[in-house]
Amino acid sequence: MAHLTSVHSAFDVRIFHKECRSLAAAGYEVILIVTHAKSETVDGVRICPVPGNGARRHRMTSTVWQVYRRALESGAALFHFHDPELLPVGVLLKLKGKRVIYDAHEHLASDILTKDWIPRRMRRVVSSFASLVEACSAAAFDGIIGATPVIAEIFPKDKSALIQNYPIIGELESYDGMPYRQRGARVLYLGSITEMKGASQMVAAMQDIPERLSARLLMLGDIEPPELRFELCKLAGWNRVELLGFQNRSKVRDFARDARLGLVLFQPLPNYEDSQPNKLFEYMSAGLPVVASHFPHWREVIERSRCGLVVDPQDPPQIADAITWLLDHPSEAEAMGRRGQEAVRSTYNWDTQAEKLVNFYERILQ
């Protein structure tokens, strides 16, 4: 079988570390067709590279065509693709009699409404058209995977599966880190640094945290777009921020084991309010209490697990109050982190989803 992506990196957490590695471990021969520097086999997954320069126009034309050509050359029995821009590739593969699975990571119609590169006046029209294309294409596919319940509900129940983006048990746990109460007042943010994911609000909140705590915000991820850095630099809390760029999974674990809490403060946009951000569950897996947006589904997870605090993600003073409370109450914060970690071990973990994925494959291949 072959997994196809023109957008994600070769070692994307959901595609490579979770889905491809789980399928390889289950005995399948797995090929990953992706923009990458070289051919290699990692953890039983054969990476088949295609050229790409990262520019959106090039990616949506030349890269997509290269992915299709490599897919045909692979000789795979089943194709599993991960990007809406590959919908035409999925249809072409079906016309050639191949089995095809579409993995919908995002709610496409809502996601388009937040795209800055689409003129605002055109977004609703583009969103409606894309939703129609997605629905018509999906009708031809053998299976559709939704990453959240809201996404999965869009598609016909008889051919869809809900495979949620929960963390791998133990991946971010550390047994040799500094004891929680001895850690510095380090606040962690993982992931792409964008306005829509609360970059400005996080930086601004740092200014309102009492100086006696000497708090620092560690931001692990790339700024998108790069020009956003100049805007963040103007905010009063910037002198308490350490911008550390993209980090591999091993480094993420190292930073998490020395932090006191994690932030996930997506802004109230249609595609985010019903999302299940991977970083929320990763903080929980690492034993960190969380400060998160007060969206209903997020609130349900956090309050059920008693693993953190929910806030208005547009209110920096409220964010600062929540961070300050957790830093001022290490016993309660540590207990929240332990409860979140236990919730991941028992419920919100990839093992439960890997089993569903393998069963879904078996059903389609039969």
CATH, residue 338: 3.40.50.2000
- The verdict on 149 and 262 lying in the same domain is no
Q: Assess whether 36 and 155 both reside in one domain.
A: yes
Domain that holds residue 136: 2-166+349-365
88 lies in the same domain as 11 = yes
Gyration radius of the chain over CA positions: 21
Same domain, 273 and 311: yes
**Domain shared by 14 and 135, yes or no:** yes
Q: Is residue 231 part of a domain?
A: yes
Confidence of residue 54 (pLDDT cuts 50, 70, 90): low
DSSP letter for 321, please.
H
Grouping H, G, I as helix, E, B as strand and the rest as coil, residue 9 is coil
**In a domain? residue 196:** yes
- Counting the structural domains of the chain, the total is 2
Q: Does residue 174 belong to any structural domain of this protein?
A: no
Query: 130 and 28: one domain?
Result: yes
Domain co-membership, 78 together with 13: yes
pLDDT at residue 274, rounded to an integer: 83
At 249, is the pLDDT very low, low, confident or very high (cuts 50, 70, 90)? confident
pTM for the model stands at 0.87
Q: Is 242 exposed, middle or buried (0-12, 13-18, 19+ CB in 10 A)?
A: exposed
Q: Does residue 85 sit in the same domain as residue 107?
A: yes
31 with 93, same domain: the answer is yes
Does residue 249 belong to any structural domain of this protein?
Answer: yes
Task: Let me know whether 119 and 188 are in one domain.
Answer: no
Stated as kind and residue range, the H or E segment containing 41 is: strand 40-42
Residues 150 and 187 in one domain: no
Each residue's pLDDT tens digit, 98-134: 999 999 999 999 889 888 888 988 999 999 999 999 9
Is the pLDDT score of 175 beyond 70?
no
Residue 55 — pLDDT band, cuts 50, 70, 90?
A: confident
- Tell me whether residue 173 is in a domain: no
> Does 259 map to a domain?
yes
* 167 has a pLDDT exceeding 70: yes
Are the beta carbons of 93 and 73 closer than 8 angstroms?
A: no
Q: Which of 93-102, 165-174, 219-228 has the lowest mean pLDDT?
A: 165-174
Residue that the structure tokens 């979770």 belong to: 18
How far apart are alpha carbons 287 and 93 in whole angstroms?
Answer: 43
- Judge whether 175 lies within some domain: no
State whether 218 and 95 are in the same domain.
no
**pLDDT exceeds cutoff 90 at 342:** yes
> What percent of the chain has pLDDT above 90?
85
